[in-house]
Amino acid sequence: MLSRVRSAVAHLVSSGGVPPPNPKPPDLPNTTSVPPALPETPKSLPARAGTGTGTGTGTGSGAPAKTVDTRASFSRPTFLQLSPGGLRRAEDQAGRAVQSPPDTGRRLPWSTGYAEVINAGKSRHNEDQACCEVVYVEGRRSASGTPKESSQGQGLCFYYWGLFDGHAGGGAADMASRLLHRHIREQLKDLVEILQDPCPPPLCLSSSPGASNPSHLVGPQSCWSSQKEVTHESLVVGAIENAFQLMDEQMARERRGHQVEGGCCALVVLYLLGKLYVANAGDSRAIVVRNGEIIPMSREFTPETERQRLQLLGFLKPELLGSEFTHLEFPRRVQPKELGQKMLYRDQNMTGWAYKKIEVEDLRFPLVCGEGKKARVMATIGVTRGLGDHNLKVCSSTLPIKPFLSCFPEVQVYDLTQYEHCPDDVLVLGTDGLWDVTSDHEVAATVDKVLSAYEPNDSSRYTAVAQALVLGARGTPRDRGWRLPNNKLGSGDDISVFVIPLGGPGSYS
Amino acid sequence: MLSRVRSAVAHLVSSGGVPPPNPKPPDLPNTTSVPPALPETPKSLPARAGTGTGTGTGTGSGAPAKTVDTRASFSRPTFLQLSPGGLRRAEDQAGRAVQSPPDTGRRLPWSTGYAEVINAGKSRHNEDQACCEVVYVEGRRSASGTPKESSQGQGLCFYYWGLFDGHAGGGAADMASRLLHRHIREQLKDLVEILQDPCPPPLCLSSSPGASNPSHLVGPQSCWSSQKEVTHESLVVGAIENAFQLMDEQMARERRGHQVEGGCCALVVLYLLGKLYVANAGDSRAIVVRNGEIIPMSREFTPETERQRLQLLGFLKPELLGSEFTHLEFPRRVQPKELGQKMLYRDQNMTGWAYKKIEVEDLRFPLVCGEGKKARVMATIGVTRGLGDHNLKVCSSTLPIKPFLSCFPEVQVYDLTQYEHCPDDVLVLGTDGLWDVTSDHEVAATVDKVLSAYEPNDSSRYTAVAQALVLGARGTPRDRGWRLPNNKLGSGDDISVFVIPLGGPGSYS
C-alpha cells in the first residue's frame, strides 16, 4: 500500500508524467511491506549495557542527560538481562523468540509482567523499546544551592512504564526509552512540595532567591476573586505533557550528533501518589481489565482520528501543503477526467460528506487519505502523534511532515484508591503489534484464562499473561507463516506488552 | 461579571491607565446583567404573521428566500397562534406567562409538545425563537428543466424542529428560525434519489445535462480499488453542516439590509428516513429519555469546552489577537507586579497546568477566561458556536470576534428503528434557560411524573411536559423573585422547550 501511494504522489509531483525511480522508502508504521528474505546479522553486544538506565531505582541526579550516546545498533531493554545468545535469539527473525525478564533474576518493580517479540525483519533497527523504572524526584535546589525542604523533608517517588514503537529507524525509540522519564522527573522537581501539600496548589510562585519555606507560595486568597481551581492531578498531567515536548525538542537538537533517526509512538504510565497517569502519543493502547470489565485508558491518534485537526492546520497554513496536497478529503483519488463533475468531499469542519464540483486544485493529493491501517498523512505516515520524525519528508519532495505531527500525549488518570482491586485486575499496555490482531475482549479473556491457572501470590503470573498475549498475537509457525488460531496471519510487527497488576499480594513491591 | 471583565479589558487597552467611559454593552449569552426595572412596551402585531413559514407543511419551492423581511420588532413563532393579547402577555416581563400552542387549534406535527417563557427583560428583542415544520424536498431539476425522477418518482419529507437562542439582538435568531430549514431542504435536493436508493451512495456524479436515470451515477466499481465507504447517513450529516454554513453566510451578506443584529445558538432536529439527526451549535441541549434512562444527544460548545480549538487558532493566527490578547490561559488575571514570578498556565496543547515565568506578553488579557457560565472568549461572549455575530467586536476595540466562533454544528444520529419505544420515551430540546437550573435527571423525573398523569393517547401530554419543565425552570413568584422549590432564583433567561415523543399512539401524525 505504502509504495503504491508513494508512487502515486511521485507521479503527481513529477511534471512530465513519468514516474520517477522508486527511492528506498524509510520504514514507517502500518506499512505492509514484505520483510526481507534473510534475517539480519546479529550484533555482538547490547548497546544499552552500562548506560545506567537499567532496571530498578532510577538515578536521581542531573538534568536529562545530554551526553548519552544513543548511537545504538541493536539493543533490548536492560531489564530483560539478555545474554549475548539471548540477544541473538531476540533479533532472529526466523525464530521470533518471545522474550521476558528471567524468572531467576531481579523482578520488575510492582510485580510487572513483560514480554516482547522483536521480529527484526520488517526493517533494520526499527524495534519497539521499553522502560520500567522507579524514579526518585528530589525537590528543586534553590538559588542558594541548598535543596528546598518540604514540610516532610522528602522527595517523591514514581513508578514508570514506557513502550516506544519506533519507525523509520530505531534512534528515536531508543532515545525516548532512556530519557523520557528523566524529563518527567525534571518537570516534577518544581512540584515536590506542592504535590505533598493537601492545600490547593498555589497559582503563582515567588521567585525570591533562597526562599525556603511555604510562605513564598502566593495563595488564592491574595489574588482576584475570579480564579480557576487547579488540582494536584492537573499539575502532574501538565508535567507529563511538557516532558513529552522537551523530549521531542531534545531529539530535534541532537538528531545529527546522535543519529536519532526516525520517530516513535510513546505510551507511558506513571504511578504517583495513588493515581495512574496513562499518557499516549501514537497508536499503542492501554486498557484496564477489572473484574472482567474493560476500561479503555487511551485513544489512538491516527490520520483518521485526527483528520479534522490535520485539515484545519492545512487550511490555516496552506504553505505546509506545498503545491502537491489539498486539505480536502475525498473518498478516493480524483481523476483528471472527472474535472467539472461532482464528487464527495469533506473539509476540516465536516464529519459528514457532501458533493462538490471538482476543480483543478482538487486533483492534488489529499493531506489525509486511506482508511484503517492504510490511512496516511501526506501519503507517508500512519500515526499522527509521537516523538522524533524531525527529518521526515514527503517522498520525492522537500515538504516536511513534522508540522502535522503532534508530540503531545493525551493523559488519562485512573485513581487506584477509588476501587477495591483483586489480584486479577490489571492494566495492559501494548504496541499496535498486539492490538492489530487482538481485540480488547480477547485480551481480557487471555488475562482471565492465564491468571486463573496461577496462584494469586505467584509473582510470575503477570509475565505469563504478557507472554500469552505476545504468543497469541505472533501466532505459531504454520503454512508458510505465523498463523493465528483462525488461520489468519499473525502480526508481522514488533509486539511488546506490559501487564501491571492493580491489586493483590505483592503487587506494589 | 460581563461589565467587570469588560472594564478590565478597557483598562488594559487604554494606555493612560484611566478606564474609559463604559459604553452600553450588547446583551450577550450568559451575562448576569440586571434586567431593567420597567417592562418593555408591547408591540401590537406579531411580525411573523403572513410570512408563510408557519406551522404545518413547509413550502417546497424556491431557493432560501432572500427577500424575507427579517426586520421584526417582537415576534413569536406562528405555531403559537397568539392573539394580540397573548403576544402582549408573552412580552410582559412582570407576568412571565408560559406560552404553548392552544389545545383547540392545529396541533404541532408529530404530537410535539412545546412551551416557552420569553422574559423580554434581559434585553430588548433578544428572545429565543423556535420552528416546527414538515418540509417536502423535491429532487433537483435537471438542466433541461424537468425534475429528475427517482425510481419511486417521489421527493422526500422531513420533520424539523429548531430552537434558536439569540444574543446581542433578536435578528439572527429570527432569521434562522425562518430560513435554516430551507437551506437544509436546498442541500438535500441533490440527495433525493440517492437517499432512496438502497445501494451505497455514488462517490462521483456525472454532470451531463439532461441525464434522467441512475446510469449517470458513477458507482464504486468503476473507480480505484482503494476508496472509503460513505453512508447515506453521512450525506445527511454533511447536508446539515453545509446548510448551517450557508445560513451563516446569508446572515453576513444581508446583515445591513435586514438588520440581522446579533447572533444565536441553534439546536435543530431532523427526522428523515427512520433517523433523528440532532445538530447543535451553541449551548442548548438535547437528551433522549428512554425507559427512564438518559441518553445525551448533544454537547455544549463554550469557551471552556472549545478552549484548545480557540487557543490553537490564536496561536496559528496571532494577528487575530491584536495586541490586547494572549492565547495562553492563566487561572486568574496576571498582575504587572508579578512579572518574573512563576504562574500556572496552559496552552493549546495542554489539558494540565504547569508553571511558567511571567513575561510582559503574559500581561495581555487571555483569549479564554473564566469558568462555567462566566467563561468568555475575548472577555465578551460565552458561547463559541452559532449563527450570526458578524459585527461582534471586542469592547473598546476593533478586533472582530467572529473568526473564533464556528457556525458548524455537531450532529448526532439516533436511529429510531433500533429500539422499541413506548409512549413515554421522548427527545427533549431546551435552550440554556432550562438547563442552567435543571439537571438531566430532574428533566427525566418531570417527564416521568407528568406523562404518568395522562393517558398514553392524550395528545396534550407532551405539551404538558414542556409546560412543566418551563414552569419549573422559571420558578414561581416569591420573595422578590421567581423562586425554584429549593428557594434559588429561577432562570432569568428565556426558556424554550420541545418535547418530541419517540413512540406510542399518534406520535408520528
pLDDT tens track for B256-286: 777 778 999 999 999 999 999 999 999 999 9
| Per-residue pLDDT band at B311 (split at 50, 70, 90) | very high
What pLDDT, on the 0 to 100 scale, is given for residue A139?
Answer: 86
pLDDT tens track for B100-124: 998 877 789 999 999 999 876 666 6
What pLDDT, on the 0 to 100 scale, is given for residue B418?
Answer: 94
Query: What CA–CA distance (Å, rounded) separates A111 from A72?
Result: 29
Residues in chain A: 509
Query: What CA–CA distance (Å, rounded) separates A161 from A501?
Result: 12
Quick one: closest CA in B to A358, which residue? B204
Indicate whether B145 pLDDT > 90: no
A218, A223, A226: best mutation site toward chain B, by most B Cβ within 10 Å?
A: A226
Indicate whether B154 pLDDT > 60: yes
In b/e form, how buried is each residue of B164-175, taking b as 16+ CB within 10 angstroms? bbbbbbbbbbbb
Indicate whether A433 pLDDT > 60: yes
**Is B354 within 8 Å of A236 when comparing Cβ atoms?**
no
Indicate whether A45 pLDDT > 70: no
Query: What CA–CA distance (Å, rounded) separates A476 from A453?
Result: 22
State the complex-level ipTM: 0.83
Indicate whether A55 pLDDT > 50: no
pLDDT tens track for A138-177: 987 554 444 444 444 589 999 999 999 999 888 999 999 9
B9, B226, B376: best mutation site toward chain A, by most A Cβ within 10 Å?
A: B226
Q: Say whether A404 sits in a helix, a strand or coil.
A: helix
Query: What CA–CA distance (Å, rounded) separates B130 from B431?
Result: 10
Residues 404-423 of B with CB under 8 A from A: 406, 408, 410-411
How much is the average pLDDT of A384-406? 95
| Per-residue pLDDT band at B486 (split at 50, 70, 90) | confident
What pLDDT, on the 0 to 100 scale, is given for residue A138?
Answer: 93
How much is the average pLDDT of A478-498? 88
Indicate whether A16 pLDDT > 70: no
For residues A479 and B439, the model is more confident at B439
From the list A227, A236, A313, which residue is nearest B352 (CB)? A236
For residues A93 and A36, the model is more confident at A93
| Per-residue pLDDT band at B153 (split at 50, 70, 90) | low
Query: What CA–CA distance (Å, rounded) separates B297 from B282?
Result: 13
What pLDDT, on the 0 to 100 scale, is given for residue A28?
Answer: 58
For residues A43 and A251, the model is more confident at A251
Indicate whether A69 pLDDT > 80: no
Indicate whether A9 pLDDT > 60: no
For residues A484 and B498, the model is more confident at B498
For residues A256 and B177, the model is more confident at B177
pLDDT tens track for B315-346: 999 999 999 999 999 999 999 999 999 999 99
CB pairs under 8 A between A and B: 162
Residues of A with Cβ-Cβ distance to B411 under 8 angstroms: 351-352
C-alpha cell at A339: 474535472
Quick one: closest CA in B to A4, which residue? B226
Indicate whether A68 pLDDT > 50: no
How much is the average pLDDT of B389-412? 95
Quick one: closest CA in A to B340, which residue? A207
The DSSP bridge partners found for residue B205 are A342, B217
- Closest-CA distance, B110 to chain A, in angstroms, reads 27
What pLDDT, on the 0 to 100 scale, is given for residue A207?
Answer: 56
| Per-residue pLDDT band at B60 (split at 50, 70, 90) | very low
How much is the average pLDDT of B482-492? 87
Indicate whether A297 pLDDT > 90: yes
What pLDDT, on the 0 to 100 scale, is given for residue B87?
Answer: 86
Indicate whether A376 pLDDT > 60: yes
Query: What CA–CA distance (Å, rounded) separates B307 from B353?
Result: 14
State whether residue B332 sits within 8 Å of chain A by CB.
yes
Residues 459-498 of B with CB under 8 A from A: none
**Is B352 within 8 Å of A239 when comparing Cβ atoms?**
yes
**What is the residue whose three cell numbers read 526516525?**
A262
Q: How many CB atoms lie within 10 A of CB A116?
A: 27
What pLDDT, on the 0 to 100 scale, is given for residue B267?
Answer: 98
State whether residue A313 sits within 8 Å of chain B by CB.
yes
What pLDDT, on the 0 to 100 scale, is given for residue A61?
Answer: 38
Range in A120-134, A164-178, B412-426 the model is least confident about? A120-134
Query: What CA–CA distance (Å, rounded) separates B102 from B109?
Result: 14
State whether residue A343 sits within 8 Å of chain B by CB.
yes
pLDDT tens track for A171-224: 999 999 999 999 999 999 999 999 999 999 999 987 554 333 333 344 333 333
What's the 3-state SS for B456-493?
CCCCCHHHHHHHHHHHHHHCEECCCCEECCCCCECCCC
The answer to whether the beta carbons of residues A469 and A434 sit under 8 Å apart is yes
For residues A33 and A274, the model is more confident at A274
Residues of A with Cβ-Cβ distance to B203 under 8 angstroms: 330-332, 343-344
Spatial CB neighbours of B85, under 8 Å, sequence gap ≥ 6: none
Residues 223-252 of B with CB under 8 A from A: 223-224, 226-230, 233-242, 245
Residues of B with Cβ-Cβ distance to A230 under 8 angstroms: 331, 344, 353
**Is B371 within 8 Å of A228 when comparing Cβ atoms?**
yes
Range in A37-46, A93-102, B391-400 the model is least confident about? A37-46
Query: Regarding beta strands B410-415 and A128-137, do their DSSP bridges make them parallel or antiparallel, or are they unpaired?
Result: unpaired
How much is the average pLDDT of B387-410? 95
State the average pLDDT for chain B.
81
How much is the average pLDDT of A249-268? 89
Residues of A with Cβ-Cβ distance to B236 under 8 angstroms: 352
Spatial CB neighbours of B480, under 8 Å, sequence gap ≥ 6: none
The DSSP bridge partners found for residue B356 are B343
What pLDDT, on the 0 to 100 scale, is given for residue B429?
Answer: 98
State whether residue A205 sits within 8 Å of chain B by CB.
yes
Query: What CA–CA distance (Å, rounded) separates A503 from A426?
Result: 8
State whether residue B339 sits within 8 Å of chain A by CB.
no
State whether residue A372 sits within 8 Å of chain B by CB.
no
What pLDDT, on the 0 to 100 scale, is given for residue A506?
Answer: 58
What pLDDT, on the 0 to 100 scale, is given for residue A7?
Answer: 35
What's the 3-state SS for B299-367?
CCCCCCCCHHHHHHHHHHCHHHHCCCEECCECCCCCCHHHCCCEEEEECCCCCCCEEEECCHHHHCEEC
What pLDDT, on the 0 to 100 scale, is given for residue A63?
Answer: 44
Tell me the percentage of chain A whose pLDDT exceeds 90. Answer: 61
Residues of B with Cβ-Cβ distance to A224 under 8 angstroms: 332-333
Query: What CA–CA distance (Å, rounded) separates B159 from B178?
Result: 15
Indicate whether A58 pLDDT > 60: no
Residues in chain B: 509
What pLDDT, on the 0 to 100 scale, is given for residue A253?
Answer: 93
Indicate whether B46 pLDDT > 60: no
For residues A475 and A105, the model is more confident at A475
For residues A154 and B156, the model is more confident at B156
3-state helix, strand and coil shares in percent for chain A, rounded to the nearest 5: 30, 20, 50
Query: What CA–CA distance (Å, rounded) separates A447 from A455?
Result: 14
